[in-house]
């Protein structure tokens, strides 16, 4: 079905292979010189250009020196339940290296800026990219094909809708989902948790899939296989004291935990400019007990510890009335707000 957010006939661009099997699409034309690049990574279930406000970004950048890239990861579409952040960020690093080489050859000087923007779980990829050892040092026993790669420094980084999967599940367990009551969902959740713990404790070199009837009953898509390991990472039962890899944005994480993620961005040396964060004001995945402004202030404090001052005050914000992906029929103004903030941030990045 034709999407109301994309113009009929589409937008011009170039399809690039950044590995043998993975591609990135660049929205660009020969009419404007575009040495700079905005690389967009979606959330769970996303793939090439599946986040609706990308149409607004692509059109707004047509007359600028920035081209917009959207990419496929191994974990794109229905494969996120088998993925993990090390693989995601390694593949993002491969894409960014390809883009730097491509733009350097095309425009001659190699001075083009690259900004990484993540939506939802794409925001987890942004923090993981900037804060983890470079290259990654851990070896995942369940992913023997993973090849850790060096990650290039970014000229900027943007997070949009950085939500907690753990708190989203807690919201479902409290209020129910898709006509199912909490009393119907909780026993299935507990059963899935027990199976996942047992599978992970066996320390097999293979990942183990949870039954689809269980995960789809809880709230996950019925066509998406989810491994025991990824399930535990997302729901993070040991949080807030020992959060799973995916639990980066829960409101109850303490300063000690945030110092290991946001607090390591400056030390990692992979961000040349500042970190911009846009929170959706009416995000359906955020429980009503979360104070969004207070949460941003908490992340800012962790990011700027030791006097780093790399949090972008000028452009970070809670987007008024914005839904998770700004995809509802009433989201024209929130999308306009988002585009204005992103354009302002990119212009500031050019001056650094």
Measured between alpha carbons, how far is 73 from 289 in angstroms, rounded to an integer? 33
Tokens linked to 349: 């990045």
To the nearest whole number, what is the mean pLDDT of the chain? Answer: 93
Q: In the numeric block, which tokens belong to residue 133? A: 């050892």
**Could you say which DSSP state residue 256 is in?**
H
Please say if the pLDDT value at position 86 is more than 50.
yes
Judged by DSSP in three states, 288 sits in coil
Q: Report the pLDDT averaged over residues 26-54.
A: 93
Tell which residue, 283, 315, 351, has the closest CA to residue 158.
315
Predicted local confidence at residue 1, as pLDDT: 37
Q: What is the mean pLDDT of residues 288-309?
A: 94
SS3 content of the chain, % helix, strand, coil (to 5): 40, 15, 45
Question: Which pTM does this prediction carry?
Answer: 0.95
Within 8 A by CB and 6+ apart from 133, the residues are: none
Give the chain's end-to-end CA distance (angstroms, integer): 42
> And the tokens for 159?
């997070």
What pLDDT score does 3 carry? 56
Question: Residue 288: which residues within 8 A CB-CB, separation 6 or more?
Answer: none
**pLDDT tens, position by position, 241-275:** 999 999 999 999 999 999 999 999 999 999 999 99
How does pLDDT run across 35-44, given as a tens digit for each residue? 999 999 999 9
| Helices assigned H by DSSP within the chain | 54-61, 85-107, 121-131, 165-175, 182-201, 212-218, 228-235, 255-258, 265-268, 292-303, 332-350
Domains of the chain by range and CATH? 13-164+250-350 (3.40.50.1820), 167-235 (no CATH)
């Amino acid at each position: 079905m034709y999407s109301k957010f994309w113009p009929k006939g589409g937008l011009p661009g170039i399809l690039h292979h950044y590995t043998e099997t993975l591609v990135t699409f660049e929205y660009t034309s020969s009419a404007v010189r575009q040495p700079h690049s905005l690389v967009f990574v979606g959330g769970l279930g996303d793939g090439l250009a599946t986040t609706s406000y990308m149409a607004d970004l692509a059109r707004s950048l047509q007359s600028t020196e920035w081209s917009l890239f959207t990419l496929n990861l191994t974990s794109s579409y229905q494969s996120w339940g088998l993925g993990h952040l090390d693989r995601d960020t390694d593949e993002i690093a491969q894409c960014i290296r390809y883009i730097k080489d491509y733009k350097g050859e095309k425009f001659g000087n190699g001075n083009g800026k690259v900004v990484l923007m993540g939506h939802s779980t794409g925001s987890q990829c942004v923090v993981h990219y900037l804060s983890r050892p470079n290259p990654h040092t851990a070896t995942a026993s369940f992913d023997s094909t993973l090849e850790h790669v060096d990650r290039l420094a970014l000229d900027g980084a943007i997070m949009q809708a950085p939500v907690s999967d753990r708190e989203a599940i807690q919201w479902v367990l409290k209020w129910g989902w898709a006509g199912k009551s909490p009393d119907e969902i909780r026993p299935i959740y507990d059963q899935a948790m027990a199976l996942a713990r047992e599978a992970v404790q066996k320390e097999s070199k293979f990942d183990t899939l949870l039954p689809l009837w269980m995960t789809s009953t809880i709230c996950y898509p019925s066509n998406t296989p989810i491994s025991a390991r990824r399930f535990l990472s997302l729901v993070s039962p040991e949080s807030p004291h020992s959060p799973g890899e995916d639990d980066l944005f829960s409101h109850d994480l303490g300063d000690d935990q945030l110092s290991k993620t946001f607090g390591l961005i400056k030390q990692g040396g992979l961000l040349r400019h500042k970190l911009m964060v846009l929170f959706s004001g009416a995000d359906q995945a955020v429980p009503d007990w979360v104070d969004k402004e207070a949460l941003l202030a908490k992340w800012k404090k962790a990011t700027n510890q030791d006097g780093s001052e790399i949090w972008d005050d000028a452009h970070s914000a809670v987007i008024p009335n914005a839904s998770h992906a700004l995809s509802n029929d009433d989201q024209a103004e929130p999308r306009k707000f988002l585009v204005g903030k992103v354009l302002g941030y990119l212009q500031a990045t050019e001056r650094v």
